[in-house]
Structure 1
């Protein structure tokens, strides 16, 4: 009987120590679980808020920048079409002036040939006039011969005057044509210069348009990559939130089991006079198993917290990289605008 009492007292002391430790552990569990759950909810809410803010900023940037780029590209295309139309008109003018100049050159060649032919006729008429004068001098003694010579001389003089008038007329026409040719050549040179300038402007606008379209495509790709990174971060946050929810459920389950264990320990205390050492040892073993389970849950919670911090760091870094790339692209677009 004495031995049973000693065993009982020993078991009672162990039970009291175990109960105190269990109560302290339960208090710690409640405090830690409450703090952890609150902090994790706060972190998750901040992550979701940051992701929503980033998504809103990205959408606002796309909404603000994309119509501007579209309008600028449309304006450049319209300017390019206008420049091309002007270049086509200048080319048509150049072709028309070239044809007119060729016609004038043909007319000038024909007029020069006519003048040369008239010069020959004038020379022949002058020679005939000289011969008529010589014949008149030779037959001056004969009245009939003198009359014939006088008639031939007058005819030659009339022909000579007619030819001289024709030559003067042709010289005037040739002068007018040469002046017209000079004027057309000047217009042709001006049109060629304007056409070359218009062609250079077309090339310049075309290059600016291609560069702007390339920058627009690059910006769209970068924005798409940023959206994908944001979506990935949101998926990671959702997964982390689900994991935290699972952990919270595990904490609640462990808390429920601890309450059940406490109830069992209280039941053992009520019936401690009739309880056996084996039952108390079994309860102690179960409590120790629950303590080990709680330690495992704490380790898993710490691992998940580290994972959440890593996701936050990666999300912040991807956001910073996206903002830096967007600023660089905006600077390049402004530079292209100034060059255009």
Structure 2
């Protein structure tokens, strides 16, 4: 599983800036104002930062964009990234700035001189989310990402705000991994196993197999997977962090791990993208992971129907009639309209 870059928060230590390795990030307001950390960087690099801020290059930067001063004299880092941002930015601009930092950083370690910057936690979220890269199936060994350290005036307060956001990033990465996995890896069995493993986070996870689904009368869902060797399943995840006995919020997601269209076969062009037809179930799974990791004070149930829509001698045909759990009969005209059958 892919995890976000490690991010921590520490008090401002001006004397350690010059010896920092990797990359150093400073924030400068659109008016060109430097905070105490930026002023120290400017002194260390003998005025190079101030000269850039007074140049056309800085003027042309849009809000939340950055520019590198490579191999600055007087500092150990490989580059100082200058990010144009207001002292009290919007959450959206702060996240954009974090994304710009992550894009430029690659796998390098990063020292972010946030100081008294408002929305520093949002910057950390943008940095974490932009750092995602799905490369576990590539032949070349992956280079680990370096950590990011935020120097801020009140590290405990910022860390307290950033903690729940880090849980959001973990949930987003979990969803992205599920959506990116090829169908020969993310079978219905593998998908269910990944969800079952979240029991360690405090989720209650129940996996309903085909025999149980048949007893429940879930003929519509079962009809979608009739042509596949991967068994159809329903996974029920529960997070009970709210008031005892309070009605839960229910989230339902479609989890078609691969969709050929069935007997109503899709065109070959673009079919490789049908590994992503389980995105709804992936989102529900990521939300449930985030709720558990941030110990949310809410009662939430997440249900995902996991199937594979394949053509086969046993597959549902156009014109077949199936029955839903509610008891309604459904005539299937096009087997590529399987999503509504899963959710029904």
Normalised TM-score (structure 1): 0.17
Q: Judging by fraction of residues, say which structure has more strand.
A: 2
The structure carrying a bigger helix percent of its residues is 1
TM-score (norm 2): 0.17
Bigger radius of gyration = 1
Higher relative contact order (CA 8 A, sep 6+): 1
